[in-house]
Amino acid sequence: MTTAKQTIHPFFKEKSILFPVIILCGLGVVMVYSASSAISMESHDSLFYYMKKQAVFSGLSLGVMFVTASLNYKVYKRMSYIILLIAVALLVAVLLPGLKVTAGGAARWLKIGGFVFQPAEFAKLALVLFLGYSLSKKQTMIKNFSVGFAPHVLIFGLFACLIIGQPDFGTIVVLGLITWGMMFIAGVKISHMLSPMPLLIPVVYFLIIKVEYRLERILAFLHPWDDPYNTGYQITHSLKAFGSGGIFGTGLGMGMQKMHYLPEPHTDFIFSIIGEELGLIGVLTVLALYLILLLKGISIAKTSKNMFGTLTAAGLTLYIGLQVVINIGVTLGLMPTKGLTLPFISYGGTSLIVNMAAVGILMNIGASTDNEQTV
């Protein structure tokens, strides 16, 4: 006989995931409006242009989260290779003239019909699902180099080669951390995981030191105040936003850094606007919501009674957590600029929908009968 808890839909059962995510999404709509109203008025003759789009994205993403929470997560065992192939096809398509959309010198978006989306965001989720299935399937030979390590690094390498052409070095870093993190959790030998280092060091050196704009980002990170009007412009204005916010903030809508001082205030640097307008109280509240979500994800990974559920939950938690840590680290000047959005809050349809899909899968793993006690 099973417990009555199993009759509750996963979307509603996992309240420690549902409530933080809904609050963060709601805050995202409000902060997108506050951060973008000035540039929205200038570019689109409306204060609400970006806010309206974010509200629509939020509604769609809630629907996606409900759908993925409804599907038994084990279906992704059968679908993992198909999802992986779709991700590869989309990453190839974004490099093709006529389909790609270029902005800010990068071609990271794909336009089909009237819909524009970013394939690299979907690739992160596809990689987690693939690794969850592949690593769990190979547990008996996980210590074998050619079984437990090589195939998964080759898939990461394929993604990296496609994404570097966009270029999007930040996403490659996230994909690499997800890959190595999930391999570590799965039990891959540490010596195998460290074996690519002699090759990776010169590659990373070339990609950073020999590419001027990436080198400038590193130098700006190390010495932002040496050139506050050029290479250090973003980080210095981000720090000014936090500094002027104090404990209680300047008040919602009252921030100054979004007024053509801080670039991308509604996307990459929206956390800086939160710090300025909502102060330390707002910052700590947002961090607490993320912490609740991530701790629940870790708990689900630990309590799942099959390796696929454990690895997939761990990978999804890692995927969301890395984006949070990197985005916040950049805005606080603790990391070089990466161009990654803040999950559930930053403006953007693709990242929000994919993140919510990931959360829905996490909900289903948590509410799965595999995790229920029988009596």
- Residue pair 37/62 in contact (Cβ under 8 Å)? The answer is no
- pTM for the full model? 0.90
In terms of phi and psi (left: phi > 0; alpha: psi -120 to 50; beta: otherwise), the region of 71 is beta
Question: Strand 115-117's sheet: what is its strand order?
Answer: 100-103, 106-112, 115-117
Residue 63, φ and ψ in degrees, nearest 5: -65, -40
Residue 114, φ and ψ in degrees, nearest 5: -105, 10
Three-state helix/strand/coil letters over 190-234 = HHHHHCCHHHHHHHHHHHHHCCHHHHHHHHHHHCHHHCCCCCCHH
Give Cβ neighbours of residue 329 (< 8 Å, ≥ 6 apart): 335
Q: How far is 125 from 117, CA to CA, in rounded Å?
A: 14
Residue-wise pLDDT tens for the chain (375 aa)? 334 445 778 888 889 999 999 999 999 999 999 999 889 888 888 899 999 999 999 999 999 999 999 999 999 998 999 999 999 999 998 887 766 666 655 667 787 766 778 899 999 999 999 999 999 999 999 999 999 999 999 999 999 999 987 778 889 999 999 999 999 999 999 999 999 888 888 877 777 776 666 777 777 777 778 777 777 788 899 999 999 999 999 999 898 988 878 888 999 899 999 999 999 999 999 999 999 999 999 999 999 989 999 999 999 999 999 999 999 999 998 888 777 899 999 998 899 999 999 999 999 999 885 454 433
Residue 306, φ and ψ in degrees, nearest 5: -140, 150
